[in-house]
Amino acid sequence: MRKAVIGLEIHVELKTKTKMFCDSLNDPDEKHSNINICPICLGHPGTLPVINKEAVNKVIMTGLALNCHIAEDTFFERKHYFYPDLPKGYQISQYQKPLCENGHLDIENKKIRITRIHLEEDAGRLYHPAGADYSLVDYNRAGVPLMELVTEPDFENGAEVRQFAEELQLIMRYLGVSDADMEKGQMRIEVNISLTKPNGEWGTKVEIKNLNSIKAAANSVDYEVTRQTELLEKGEEIKQETRGWDDTKGITISQRSKEEAQDYRYFPEPDLPPLHYDSDEVEAIKSRIPELPDQRRRRFSNQYTLPVSDVEIFTTDKELGNYFEDVASEILTFDKLKHLKMPPIGEQPKLFKLASNYLITELSRMAAAVFAGPKDTKITPEMFADLVVRVFHKEISSSAAQTVLKEMFETGKSPENIIKDKDLAQISDTVELESVVEKVIADNPKAVVDFKSGKTASLKFLVGMAMRESRGRANPQILEELIKSIIK
């Protein structure tokens, strides 16, 4: 059996105030071309680069988060090639001595080894206007700090590539080193794929570029594994080449063959001093690493005993997770509703789960078009906790809670006022509910007969009718008990 051998090379634009070697702004959202430029990033002769410490710190922080060894002494090198978007004729990069080496990131049941992470500068951008016989170049991106991460070929399929890329993207967002938006080119993935020979040796690898989403990267891997398997089974050879990904057709296309390695004539950058970071400085960066996604997953499931799927949503959507935590802390200290007892400690997970449900399902569903995140809502964590505590104590029914939530979202009014204004308080008073139940029994003789002959669905029906009769305010458990006892 041939085994797929897959490795990744990932470029990430760092989020810094200024560019890698000059004080031009690093603004990925700049709409006007050639605004954030200066003689240094335009590569004018006689200019001198200066190292951006913020960028170096961010790469070291990433390396630490990915369990890498951090080099105390490194230096930059020139990588020479000619292209219109590279005005100097060389890219300042790292080659012999990357800032970070020998790390790993764990995905489900597997350790993916990280070979190296180094720091370099991005090139400008070329535009090819449709139908024109010229191209345009925008140097806003030229000289933007770019981090390159190379993995060992430890992947075997697209699903693993996807897991790794998603987790890496999340980690970079948690660290604040990059927004890592693939559509904006802030994160760019290249995959290398080969199949092992029958004797287990690695085969010729093919590189795939032009991947504009994590999904595309995963799909291209699976496509390419199949393509290479079919070729090898027909007795054909795999050419070493670079292929592009056609997202609409879902196929890879040959772009250029890579017969020989390009000679970049690397040599140490003479205009920059070597970089030295002693262990104290590295430790200081380490101490600034915030909670990482995996730590958060573990903490959320321990602290709030939420199911994995809820935890995952609060980890991926960090803002929503933070909002949930604010609500949870309000719940724990909630003493505004003097008439309601604080739930005992053992009951707290139920309140957390209730809060989580309303946050994930209800709020997102009813306000999908407008709810872009917690910043976007008039509902304070305290109001949310208030609602959850009332639902927990059955002061309002779950259908009334949806009305309250919707109204809170739209008006920012407190649950108390909404419940009063709309007369939503749940009726648990048996005497009051008895008259409702008696009416429903009188109006639905057939359902009563059916229930007596053992049809449990009829009980549900009668409860539903009684709920409607009470305009959704009756306590459904009490209704059910009353219906059973009155029919008997």
Interacting residues with ligand ADP (CB under 6 A)? 5-9, 150-153, 192-194, 202, 205
Cβ closest to ligand ADP, residue 9 vs residue 317: 9
**Main-chain dihedrals φ then ψ at residue 15, nearest 5 degrees:** -90, 100
Closest to 42 measured CA to CA, from 121, 142, 136: 142
Cβ closest to ligand ADP, residue 24 vs residue 115: 115
Residue 426 contacts by C-beta under 8 Å, 6 or more apart in sequence?
394, 395, 396, 397, 400, 473, 474, 475
Cβ closest to ligand ADP, residue 240 vs residue 364: 240
With beta carbons less than 8 A apart as the criterion, state whether 258 and 242 touch: yes
Residue with tokens 């935890």: 311
Alpha-carbon separation of residue 190 from 100, 149, 212, 216 (angstroms): 19, 10, 10, 11
43: left (phi over 0), alpha (psi -120 to 50) or beta: left
Residue with tokens 């559509």: 183
Cβ closest to ligand ADP, residue 161 vs residue 171: 161
Distance CA 120, CA 118 (A): 7
Distance CA 395, CA 417 (A): 14
**Main-chain dihedrals φ then ψ at residue 51, nearest 5 degrees:** -70, 130
Cβ closest to ligand ADP, residue 260 vs residue 423: 260
Cβ closest to ligand ADP, residue 51 vs residue 159: 159
Alpha-carbon separation of residue 472 from 49, 386, 439, 479, 487 (angstroms): 70, 20, 16, 11, 22
Shortest spacing between CB 68 and ligand ADP, in angstroms: 15
Q: Give the residue nearest to ligand ADP (CB).
A: 7
Provide the residue type at 20 as one letter: M
Shortest spacing between CB 79 and ligand ADP, in angstroms: 12
Shortest spacing between CB 211 and ligand ADP, in angstroms: 14
DSSP character at residue 73? E
Alpha helices in 396-455 (DSSP H): 398-411, 415-422, 430-443, 445-452
Residue with tokens 């290249």: 190
Shortest spacing between CB 172 and ligand ADP, in angstroms: 18
DSSP character at residue 115? E
Cβ closest to ligand ADP, residue 262 vs residue 456: 262
Cβ closest to ligand ADP, residue 161 vs residue 313: 161
Provide the residue type at 304 as one letter: Y
Cβ closest to ligand ADP, residue 7 vs residue 381: 7
DSSP character at residue 2? -
Strand partners, 113: 104
Distance CA 226, CA 223 (A): 5
Distance CA 66, CA 171 (A): 9
Cβ closest to ligand ADP, residue 124 vs residue 153: 153
Distance CA 389, CA 343 (A): 9
Return the structure tokens found at 260.
Answer: 């020989």
Cβ closest to ligand ADP, residue 263 vs residue 280: 263
Shortest spacing between CB 360 and ligand ADP, in angstroms: 37
Q: 445, exposed or middle or buried, with CB in 10 Å at 0-12, 13-18, 19+? A: exposed
Return the structure tokens found at 301.
Answer: 């499931």
Shortest spacing between CB 258 and ligand ADP, in angstroms: 8
Helix or strand (DSSP H, E) at 268: strand 267-268
Cβ closest to ligand ADP, residue 165 vs residue 436: 165
